[in-house]
Structure 1
Amino acid sequence: MSDVSLSARSKARVTRRPWHALVRWETLLVLAILVDFAINAHASPYFLDPWTLSDVTVSVAEKAVVALAMAFLVMAGEIDISVGGIIALASVSMGLVARAGLPLPLVVASGIATGLLAGCVNGALVTIGRVPSIVATIGTMTLFRGIAYAVLGDGVLKTYPPGFAWLGQGSVAGPVSFELVLFVALAAVAIVLRHATAFGRRVVATGSNPEASRMSGIATDRLRFALFVAVGTAAGLASVLLTSRLGSTRPSIAQGWELEIITMVILGGVAIEGGIGTIPGVVLAAILMGLVTFGLGLLNVPGIVMSVVTGTMLIVVVAVPAALRRYGGGRQ
């Protein structure tokens, strides 16, 4: 069946939340960003320094890269809880390759390839093994990080080739970091894929009604497998950026990132049950979370309090969009 008929079939479900509600939610995110920006500027005289703002973008870009891919997966009705474990395993892989004296391109490739393979494992468990994605990825989260600890223990790897640190610490022009440029480029690609291609329509249709999508001719299992691979690859790329910024490999890196990345996605307006979501919303949510986290750091708030704030945000952003969708649906 053609993409035109597929679009017509899925449009009723996708537009339950009307466009004015979508705009309103993203407008709220913009307003929240402006308010938090003003609060941070008032809290610290150094916040408006270009290099300080650069630090904000670096702190959020690594997680946001994964959030872009995760958004597509959640729109398709699935989820991946293992991204933190993938990042740790990819970092250990890069550390071992670097310790063997191999050149920079192979070090970077090993991290991304490890993420890709981990995504294949998750995709196979869900699409071939028929294991629910939340169960499968909770298991692989423990598996991947467990392998990282089994290989490295409590050790640290710090031997990396020249130029590796630039990926996570370097700037393209002045305070404009390479990580920011990379994230903006990936966000632009994601926006086009989601909002201007048949691929984006198929992702949304799969999350809206998997059975109807399958009957319409969409290879839903192949699509979901590809999305798990994309998330794993994005986690591998994030591991490259994080490891190069830290300058070392530890099995404990990216601990708890799963919660923050999923919060970015849901805060951006992506429905946890799938079928609804925009990439600009996820980008705005990533910026907002970066500002909130950085602002709490300026106030020397303990890390455990930041975790409480993140958890609270996740609960709120699951409840509020659901209420908006019900309200919007009732208005139509």
Structure 2
Amino acid sequence: MDPMLRTLETKRPFNLKSFFFQWEWLLVVFFILINIMNINLSPYYLNADNLRDATMSFLDKAFIVLPMVFVIILGEIDISVGSIVALSSVMMADLYSMGVPMPLAMLCCLLVGTICGMINGLLIVKFKELSSVIITLATMIIFRGIAYIILEDQAKGQFPEWFSFFGWEYVGGVPFILIAFIFFAIIYGLLLHKTTFGRRVYAMGNNLTAARFSGIQVDKIKIIVFTLTGLMAGITAIFLTSRMGSTRPNVATGYELDVIAMVVLGGISTAGGKGRMIGAIIAVFLIGMLSYGLGLVNVPAQVLLIIIGLLLIVAVILSKLKLGKRKALKQ
């Protein structure tokens, strides 16, 4: 072999220290500490049935976390997801009350969520001078307003008995909602980390201009990502409505903040281009089990918000310190 020829390494050599200093491992440590705290706060926390059933109380919004990871890696944001859930749920209940078969009403629920997400994507690529915050703030108000126009301040329910399966039933002793979440988590994880589409999302988040000049159809990808977010909001609407047994125009209020908090705590950079799906998934269960444990001892919801806020501050500070250390090593 010619000694002047060089070989290029396409993969970095494995480094044990770097592996265990990843953000996801710190989340695992947080998760363990939270469980230790909950065990000491309540003697009922370690009940296996209660722990299994606790997932039903927070996994509905977790479906939106999966596509929101893509949105934030792109450097965008979507604060209309809670309103999309409400509108999708209201449309499903209203159609059923008018005599539409429940399976068809559920399909319409998914369709409404998908269309709302597509509208967000189209507006964002059409009006590039406006940030996604402004556009989704506007659609958040519009979608919620339409839900209020349809039902005003009333509630609708009386769904068929089998519909409660999505929110309350088990398959092989495991909550169906947990099985569904694991299925979608695998799909979205593979899409982000093992496909060309995922690599292009990262490229756009790192440098949108460079991605556009390299031939990536950036507008098309943005529309797809926001459409997927709307679709998952529709899925959330089905699980949430099934769990509650009825719906109102004010359901899912504040979901957008919970979802974004889970994604950011999971190590997804709000600047775009960085983060992994597994981190967001760990954060879902971290915040979910924290809420469940504190709920057992009747801790007010306001205190929980303060704790989650502190966790987010710690996450941002630690990520900044980690980034600063990397820059120092490069210099």
TM-score (norm 2): 0.91
Q: What is the CA deviation profile of residues 100-151 of structure 1, one whole-angstrom value per residue up to 9, with x for unaligned ones? A: 2222321211211111011011111101122310110111111111111122
Structure 1 residues 285-294 or 53-62, which shifts more?
Answer: 53-62
In the other structure, the counterpart of 2:92 is 94
Q: How far apart, CA to CA, are the structure 2 residues paired with 1:106 and 1:290?
A: 32
Q: 2:177 aligns with which of 173, 176, 179?
A: 179
TM-superposed CA distance for 1:219, in Å, is 0.2
Q: What is the CA deviation profile of residues 132-175 of structure 1, one whole-angstrom value per residue up to 9, with x for unaligned ones? A: 1011011111111111112212100012123111111111122x
User: For the Cα contact (< 8 Å) 1:263–1:313, is it kept in 2?
Assistant: no
Matching of residue 137 in structure 1 with residue 132 in structure 2: no
Q: How far apart, CA to CA, are the structure 2 residues paired with 1:151 and 1:263?
A: 30
Identity %: 39
Classify 1:331/1:73 alpha carbon distance in 2 versus 1 (closer, same or farther; 3 Å): same
TM-superposed CA distance for 1:210, in Å, is 0.5
Q: How far apart, CA to CA, are the structure 1 residues paired with 2:34 and 2:306?
A: 18
In the other structure, the counterpart of 2:3 is none
Contiguous gaps of at least 5 residues in structure 1: 1-7, 12-18
In the other structure, the counterpart of 1:254 is 252
SS in 2 for 1:163: helix
Q: 1:294 aligns with which of 289, 292, 295?
A: 292
In the other structure, the counterpart of 1:14 is none
Matched to 1:37, the amino acid is: N
In the other structure, the counterpart of 2:14 is none
In the other structure, the counterpart of 2:40 is 42
Q: What is the CA deviation profile of residues 51-90 of structure 1, one whole-angstrom value per residue up to 9, with x for unaligned ones? A: 2112321223112110011001110111101111111111
User: For the Cα contact (< 8 Å) 1:259–1:311, is it kept in 2?
Assistant: no
Matches within 5 A, 1:160-179: 160-174=159-173, 176-179=174-177
In the other structure, the counterpart of 1:201 is 199
Q: How far apart, CA to CA, are the structure 1 residues paired with 2:161 and 2:99?
A: 11
Q: How far apart, CA to CA, are the structure 2 residues paired with 1:22 and 1:212?
A: 32
SS in 2 for 1:51: helix
Q: What is the CA deviation profile of residues 28-69 of structure 1, one whole-angstrom value per residue up to 9, with x for unaligned ones? A: 101111111122222222222222112321223112110011
Classify 1:109/1:23 alpha carbon distance in 2 versus 1 (closer, same or farther; 3 Å): farther
In the other structure, the counterpart of 1:121 is 119
User: For the Cα contact (< 8 Å) 1:75–1:272, is it kept in 2?
Assistant: yes
In the other structure, the counterpart of 1:156 is 155
Q: How far apart, CA to CA, are the structure 2 residues paired with 1:21 and 1:327?
A: 16
Matched to 1:161, the amino acid is: P
In the other structure, the counterpart of 2:13 is none
User: For the Cα contact (< 8 Å) 1:103–1:161, is it kept in 2?
Assistant: no
Contiguous gaps of at least 5 residues in structure 2: 1-7, 11-16
Q: How far apart, CA to CA, are the structure 2 residues paired with 1:255 and 1:126?
A: 23
User: For the Cα contact (< 8 Å) 1:145–1:251, is it kept in 2?
Assistant: yes
TM-superposed CA distance for 1:320, in Å, is 2.8
Matching of residue 103 in structure 1 with residue 101 in structure 2: yes
Q: 1:80 aligns with which of 65, 75, 78?
A: 78
Q: How far apart, CA to CA, are the structure 2 residues paired with 1:143 and 1:199?
A: 31
User: For the Cα contact (< 8 Å) 1:41–1:48, is it kept in 2?
Assistant: yes
RMSD after superposition: 1.9
Q: What is the CA deviation profile of residues 234-277 of structure 1, one whole-angstrom value per residue up to 9, with x for unaligned ones? A: 11111110110010101111111111100110111100010001
User: For the Cα contact (< 8 Å) 1:63–1:257, is it kept in 2?
Assistant: yes
Structure 1 residues 86-95 or 102-111, which shifts more?
Answer: 102-111
Classify 1:59/1:204 alpha carbon distance in 2 versus 1 (closer, same or farther; 3 Å): same
